[in-house]
Structure 1
């Protein structure tokens, strides 16, 4: 198990943007925290009203955005112009290259989100973009996949053998997570509340990477909202 406590993350406060980085990002660099398997970036962002990220490029990365509060406006070089709200998820395959911008869609209140980057299993695919509402009732009952490999589920598809699963667990309830592929590991990130992961306590914004078992015991020590990213441990060969 690899533990990443919330208070050990990188931190950058630019006024308009307050961002916590689980993995090395921008001016934050820790050689021990560059990636977990194909998971490269997990940023926990607060964006002030009426501000955001201007147009900038990406390539050869699968980018998943999960808004937590407020609304985020997305525009890109493929002609998409959308607003993303809590209860939705966005997946973008940068592939051969894409430009996009992300702004808080509201002038008078902040928005918060998780943005997660995954190394793709294939380089230079055609860029694509999608967003959808997920079943907020399903995440109260189960580990509900909101993102999955292309053609392998009802969530948004990405070019990697990775599943993004959300769940809400009432205090005192146990909800084990079953691994999707034996060669994968799981990165658990506690969005809210607290859990015991195979007897390891994790609080709000704490995270842990685990592997080597078919399932993992998760018990809510208080009402908990949790993201589990089931993903390959080996980086793809990009030769």
Structure 2
């Protein structure tokens, strides 16, 4: 059994015109051999974009890319000709498979956009690229499955993303899966006495069923995996 707190203030960051990105894992020039991933989770980026700013078209392959929009609206286009506008409370799973190109930018008409994006290693390589989008069910009480399980399909066996919007004092029980990445996206919560401010994360191994209590209005993102962390 183990747990480790990763403070948001310790995340590496990258700035570009109209964009600030904070990385929870080793990423690009911010190489950290001791922090390459957690189970199949190899990237967990927190992006804040000015209206119209974002990422020009770029390639991906052999990744499951899961995006959750916290604020504003994100415009996604890709080399298949698809175009989606993801508003706050919406998710997208892009299975890059054998290769795809895409771009992402904050909708110019919706102000700034904040989104969290996770990259996972797929269970089966070389698949045909695909994507799925959807608005989460009503986030009113407890954790709601957004991707994996009963949510949008993810090509990483056993992976699930669950989201909760919590009122002050509200308590949720974490999943039973043995490997969990718990991220306080907004607000402040406590995990059985361990305080997490917005941007903080906890990585849990073999500690299922623990409880999280909101100290104020908060949004919680929980990745859970059915296999031990590597």
For normalisation by structure 1, the TM-score amounts to 0.89
Deviations 1:14-47 (A, max 9, x none): 1321111111112212222210111111111111
> For the residues of structure 1 that align with 2:10 and 2:208, how far apart are their CA atoms?
29
Pair 1:95–1:198, CA change in 2 (3 A): same
* Gap runs ≥5 in structure 1: none
> For the residues of structure 2 that align with 1:92 and 1:81, how far apart are their CA atoms?
12
Q: Which runs of 4+ in 1 moved over 4 A?
A: none
**Structure-2 residue corresponding to 1:53:** 55
Say which is worse superposed, 28-37 or 38-47, in terms of deviation.
28-37
The answer as to whether partners of 1:168 and 1:226 remain within 8 angstroms in 2 is: yes
CA RMSD of aligned residues (A): 1.5
Count of residue pairs the alignment pairs up: 226
**Structure-2 residue corresponding to 1:4:** 6
* SS of residue paired to 1:156: coil
| Residue number among 163, 174, 179 corresponding to 1:177 in the alignment | 174
The answer as to whether partners of 1:70 and 1:106 remain within 8 angstroms in 2 is: no
| Residue number among 115, 124, 127 corresponding to 2:126 in the alignment | 124
* SS of residue paired to 1:24: coil
* SS of residue paired to 2:133: strand
* Gap runs ≥5 in structure 2: none
Say which is worse superposed, 57-66 or 100-109, in terms of deviation.
100-109
Shift of 1:108: 7.4
Shift of 1:107: 5.6
* SS of residue paired to 1:157: coil
> For the residues of structure 2 that align with 1:105 and 1:219, how far apart are their CA atoms?
34
> For the residues of structure 1 that align with 2:170 and 2:110, how far apart are their CA atoms?
38
* SS of residue paired to 1:35: coil
Shift of 1:159: 0.8
> For the residues of structure 2 that align with 1:198 and 1:191, how far apart are their CA atoms?
18
| Residue number among 139, 153, 156 corresponding to 2:152 in the alignment | 156
**Structure-1 residue corresponding to 2:228:** 233
* SS of residue paired to 2:9: helix
Deviations 1:92-139 (A, max 9, x none): 100111111112221672211111111111111111111111113xx2
Shift of 1:57: 0.7
> For the residues of structure 2 that align with 1:234 and 1:188, how far apart are their CA atoms?
14
The answer as to whether partners of 2:73 and 2:110 remain within 8 angstroms in 1 is: no
Deviations 1:186-233 (A, max 9, x none): 100001111111321111110000021331121112222100100243
Shift of 1:234: 4.1
* SS of residue paired to 1:158: coil
Shift of 1:168: 1.6
The answer as to whether partners of 2:17 and 2:53 remain within 8 angstroms in 1 is: no
For normalisation by structure 2, the TM-score amounts to 0.93
> For the residues of structure 1 that align with 2:193 and 2:202, how far apart are their CA atoms?
12
